[in-house]
Amino acid sequence: MDQVLKGQIAIITGASSGIGAGVAKSLALAGATVVVNYPGDSSKEAADAVLSEITDAGGTGIVAQCDVTNEEQVTKFFADVIAQYGTIDILVNNAGLQRDAKFDEMTLEQWNTVINVNLTGQFLCARAAIREFLRRGPRPDVSAATGKIICMSSVHEAIPWGGHVNYAASKGGVKLLMQSLAQEYGDRHIRVNSICPGAIQTPINKSAWETPQALNSLMSLIPYNRIGQPSDIGNLAVFLASDQSDYITGASIFIDGGMTVLESFAANG
Ligand code: NAI
Ligand code: BGC
């Protein structure tokens, strides 16, 4: 892969598994130094394994613990990375989770947990990144933009999702967080975009692909007829972080094998 991100420092939140791990690997292959974030002790070993794969492939980076819902931890996390590397260039706001329930049975805890990680976590990390981009100013030797933020949204910022109302509301929130930031900081040459994945094979949706029956049923929602892989998202993240996408800001880019094309309308309507 071309070293289009050479010399740049990238933080990827929730990078010890799934899409975050795939994005960290792709950004590292493209030359970025990556910060593989994990939330707590139980995911440290997995984060170390992701970093080993990266360094074995010739990439560079570190692992760093931070719970993205905790303001103090986020402040310290960004300060430590900036102390070590001088600045950051790319934030991938990826950490996220589901706490599914029928709406009439959903607890406040299930609601708050999802909103805190998926939306408030993105707010805290985006704010820390933008503060650093504004402090540091342009770095034209490494990138045309002063800084880049990529928000991991979902097809469910557009497709309503009964049984997952907390999750869909969090991603709807991410959509306008992203767009409003792109509008507010465009004149400072800070680019903010969202990736909106469809079904990607990771631990978050294991029940949708772990049996042949489940996978078969999932295929009825995906015109392209395969489940996505973290590397699919990694490739798009490299593009959105690089100067090849320098005129793209405020965009939600769907990467879903056609899930949002509403296949059910193909034969009639
Ligand atoms: P995953 O469960 O493998 O990854 C989620 C990551 O977030 C984990 O590494 C977890 O440790 C981390 N995390 C959770 N709470 C955290 C916290 N408080 N602080 C820091 N990290 C925390 O699942 P996946 O699929 O890789 O999810 C990544 C992102 O992609 C999420 O935002 C999810 O909503 C989004 N997404 C996933 C899709 C899929 O089909 N897998 C589709 C659309 C969006
Ligand atoms: C969810 C997955 C789901 C996918 C497609 C994602 O946002 O996290 O569980 O498979 O959307 O519906």
pLDDT tens by residue, 190-206: 999 999 999 999 999 99
98 phi, psi to nearest 5 deg = -120, 145
Q: Is the pLDDT of residue 118 over 90?
A: yes
Ligand 1 centroid to residue 168 C-alpha, Å:
14
Is residue 187 a part of any domain in this protein? yes
Task: With cut-offs at 50, 70 and 90, classify the pLDDT of residue 269.
Answer: low
Is residue 189 a part of any domain in this protein? yes
Q: How many domains does the chain have?
A: 1
Is residue 4 a part of any domain in this protein? no
Q: Which atom of ligand 2 is closest in space to residue 161's alpha carbon?
A: 12
Q: Is the pLDDT of residue 127 over 90?
A: yes
Contact 199 CB / ligand 2 (< 6 Å): yes
Provide CB contacts within 8 A for 155, sequence distance 6+: 196, 197, 198, 254, 256, 259, 260
Nearest CA to ligand 2 atom 10: 199
Contact 204 CB / ligand 2 (< 6 Å): yes
- Give the pLDDT score at 35: 99
Task: With cut-offs at 50, 70 and 90, classify the pLDDT of residue 2.
Answer: confident
Ligand 1, residues 23, 94, 125, 204: which to mutate, most atoms within 8 A of Cβ? Answer: 204
Is residue 261 a part of any domain in this protein? no
In the chain, what percentage of residues exceed pLDDT 70? Answer: 97
User: Average pLDDT for residues 120-147, to the nearest whole number?
Assistant: 98
User: Average pLDDT for residues 235-239, to the nearest whole number?
Assistant: 98
Q: Is the pLDDT of residue 266 over 80?
A: no
Lowest mean pLDDT across 1-10, 18-27, 62-71, 86-95 = 1-10
Q: Is the pLDDT of residue 11 over 80?
A: yes
Q: Is the pLDDT of residue 29 over 90?
A: yes
Q: Is 73 helix (H, G, I), strand (E, B) or coil?
A: helix
Is residue 92 a part of any domain in this protein? yes
Ligand having the closest approach to the CA of 233: 1
Ligand having the closest approach to the CA of 44: 1
Supply the range of the domain harboring residue 234: 9-256
Is residue 208 a part of any domain in this protein? yes
Residue 167 appears among annotated catalytic residues: yes
Nearest CA to ligand 1 atom 9: 14
Q: How far is CA 255 from CA 61, 140, 231, in A?
A: 27, 30, 12
Ligand 2 centroid to residue 201 C-alpha, Å:
9
Is residue 266 a part of any domain in this protein? no
- Give the pLDDT score at 139: 97
Domain of 72: which CATH number? 3.40.50.720
- Residue (of 119, 74, 65, 112) closest to 96 by Cα position: 119
